[in-house]
Amino acid sequence: MSNIATLTRHPTYPMLQAKNLWKKYDDNVVLERLNISVNTGEFITMVGTSGCGKSTFLKMLLGMEEPTSGKLLLDNKPIPNEPDQSRGIVFQQYSVFSHLTVLENVILAREFEGSALFGKLFGNAKRKVVDEATLLLESVGLATAINRYPHELSGGMKQRLAITQALIRKPRILLLDEPFGALDPGIRADMHQLILKLWREHNLTVFMVTHDLSEGFYLGTRLWVFDKLRRDPHSPDAYGASITYDLPITRNKIMPAELQTTQLQEV
Amino acid sequence: MKRLINLTPSKSTRWLLGLIPFAIILILYLFAADARHIENPSDKLLPSFMQMGTTLNTYVLEPSKRTGEYLFWSDTLSSLKRLLLGISIAAVIGFVFGLLTGAIPTVNAPFAPLITIISLVPPMALLPILFIVFGLDELSKVALIVIGVAPFIARDIQRCTQEIPQEQIIKAQTLGASTWQILVRILIPQLFPRLINAVRLSLGSGWLFLIASEAIAATDGLGYRIFLVRRYMSMDVILPYVAWITLLAFILDWLLNKVSHKLFVWHYQGAK
């Protein structure tokens, strides 16, 4: 396990912990008996069949869903129950604002921060955040697209923008919900380099949902496989999924034999 | 030969095909009017273009003997004033209620059912109440347009607000936005083109309410005039007025569309 984390902080507890976490919707058990702990700086990739709870878990990390029972702790305190600027998110689509240009999309977070009333900055204050955003946009290769609207961007550029936008307010955690699922393989490889670079530079803790097992192995420092341990064929909702494999990934990235034979649909 | 469903006329053919029905209607009218005038040279039911021209001339160019006003223009002015005032107020009210009920669940709970019910009340049935409460002046006519149009706009904007992807609202929160900031920076700008669209759709019923209220109680206005001259079977006034109202409606619609395309390029290009 790569532990950039412990170099920067020395907490006596892990950054994120789940303690016997359950999530149910009425009788439908989505997640059960989830116990994990995550340190700062880890890059966690989550794979599993659809409906196995990985997106639900991401929503809990985001604060959109609350555990039915058990605990989800951030810095040893219950995780905030609504989205905030400590946790950035990039979705597969609709992540950027179509009515704002690339630059406006990126400075938006700073404008929310600096102007409670209008959510908009003017004059010197604006110039400062524009400079900051321009630097950031240059570092992700969007310098030439600064004044374009999202509909004028390719899918890959849109996701670059979505990531940049999420980073300007310096979140500690970055959540990625299948961010590269809709991209061409070549572009996807570029995006992998970008996300690894940003992860290192910004000292992020990343949680990424993906359908692509090899992507999960390539990017992550730790791979989680969500699956059901117990099944009742007559009542498929009776048991929830849990993390069935929690694999530290070393840099030589050898896929364990047991996973090679695991059937992962939609991979 | 391609299938009918795959045949698309070129731009010039489109124009031509579009003009043909108008030409046919015009020619049919001319023939019918001519036939009637051969029987009875002073026929009033299908006036010739000459007759309409002469009458319109006195309405447009000569001051009225009674009031000294140019009737055509003063009618147009008072009707447009009522319509635009009514539609503007309705747009503001509809936008505010639609936005808030669409975006904020605790506002939706008390107000959404109310708006739905109000929108089901036939506005014309309320006209007597408006006359009793607001009197027979301008206010009741504007109020009728507002009551008729605002609930429609509110429901339309509410639906549009709820159609804005949830991802955007969540993303804004992860960028640190408050509820107010989400409203002013994310929702309101994205809803403006949709508001213009809702206004365009509601202009038709706006005209309906305007003309109905003018027909019942007014002393000027386009609707007042056509209902006034109906007593004398003055089709030579009614037909040009109807054409004029249609033209005004067309121009308003066209203007709103142009403005919207000009201001909100991202809305039209960005859709999918």
Q: How far apart are CA A33 and CA A239, in angstroms?
A: 10
- Average pLDDT along chain B: 92
| CB-nearest partner of B185 from A96, A108, A162 | A108
Model pLDDT for residues A61-79, shown as the tens digit of each residue = 999 888 898 889 898 889 9
pLDDT of residue A267: 36
Q: How confident is the model at residue A258 (pLDDT cuts 50, 70, 90)?
A: low
pLDDT confidence band for A243 (50 / 70 / 90):
confident
Token pair of B121 as six digits = 């009340």
Give the pLDDT score at B193: 95
- Other CB atoms within a 10 A radius of the CB of residue B53 amount to 12
Predicted confidence at residue B272, as pLDDT, reads 45
Q: Using CB atoms, pick whichever of A62, A85, A151 lies closest to residue B175.
A: A85
Return the number of CB contacts < 8 Å for A and B: 87
Mean pLDDT over each residue of chain A, to the nearest integer: 85
Interchain pair B165, A94: CB under 8 A = yes
Q: What is the mean pLDDT of residues A243-263?
A: 63
Confidence band of A183 (pLDDT split at 50, 70, 90): confident
Residue A106 makes CB contacts below 8 A (sequence gap 6+) with A133, A136, A137, A161, A164, A165, A168
Question: Is A265 a residue whose pLDDT tops 80?
Answer: no
Position A69: which residue type? S
Q: What is the DSSP letter of A208?
A: E
State mean pLDDT over B45-54: 88
> 3-class SS at A210?
coil
Provide the pLDDT for residue A21.
87
pLDDT in tens, B88-107: 999 999 999 999 999 999 99
Residues of B with CB under 8 A from a CB of A: 165, 167-168, 170-178, 180-181, 184-186, 189-190, 264-267, 269-270
A10-24, A181-195, A242-256, B213-227: range with lowest mean pLDDT:
A242-256
**What number of CA atoms fall less than 13 Å from residue B192's CA on the CB side?**
19
- Contact residues, chain A, for B178 at CB < 8 Å: 112, 116
Tokens of A114: 């600096």
SS (H, E, C) chain B: CCCHHHCCCCHHHHHHHHHHHHHHHHHHHHHHHHHHHHHCCCCCCCCCHHHHHHHHHHHHHCCCCCCCCCHHHHHHHHHHHHHHHHHHHHHHHHHHHHHHHHHCHHHHHHHHHHHHHHHHCCHHHHHHHHHHHHCCCHHHHHHHHHHHHHHHHHHHHHHHHHHCCHHHHHHHHHCCCCHHHHHHHHHHHHHHHHHHHHHHHHHHHHHHHHHHHHHHCCCCCHHHHHHHHHHHCCHHHHHHHHHHHHHHHHHHHHHHHHHHHHHCHHHHHHCC
Q: Are B42 and B235 in contact (CB under 8 A)?
A: no
| Closest CA in chain B for residue A109 | B175
* In the predicted structure, residue A4 carries a pLDDT above the cut 70: no
Instruction: Give me the pLDDT at residue B56, please.
Output: 86
Mark yes or no for CB contact A99/B264 under 8 Å: yes
Q: What is the pLDDT of residue A259?
A: 54
Q: According to the model, what pLDDT value does residue A185 have?
A: 85
Residue A241 host element (H or E): strand A241-248
Distance from CA of B215 to the nearest CA of A (A): 44
Residues of chain A with pLDDT > 70: what percent? 90
A97: nearest Cα among B188, B119, B107: B188
**pLDDT of B271:** 52
Does the pLDDT of residue A254 top 70, yes or no? no
pLDDT for position B122: 92
pLDDT digits (tens, 9 = 90+) for A94-144: 889 999 999 999 999 999 999 888 888 999 999 999 999 999 999 888 989
Q: Which residue of chain A has the CA closest to B189?
A: A99
Q: Order of strands across the sheet with A173-177? A: A77-78, A69-74, A16-25, A28-38, A241-248, A222-228, A43-48, A205-209, A173-177, A87-90
Q: Are strands A205-209 and A43-48 parallel, antiparallel or unpaired?
A: parallel
Checking phi first, is residue A20 left (phi over 0); if not, alpha (psi -120 to 50) or beta? left
| Residue A263 confidence (pLDDT) | 46
CB contact at 8 A, A13 and A35: no
Contact A223, A249 (CB under 8 A): yes
B190 vs A53 pLDDT, higher one: B190
Nearest to B175 by CA among A158, A152, A157, A90: A90
Q: Which of A82, A93, A118 sits opposite B173 (nearest CB)?
A: A82
Mutation target among A92, A99, A173 for the B interface, most CBs of B within 10 A: A99
A88 touches chain B (CB under 8 A): yes
In which band, very low, low, confident or very high, does the pLDDT at A255 lie, cut at 50, 70 and 90? low
Residues of A with Cβ-Cβ distance to B179 under 8 angstroms: none
Find the mean pLDDT for residues B23-47.
Answer: 91
Distances (CA, A) of A180 to A72, A162, A198, B181: 27, 11, 15, 29
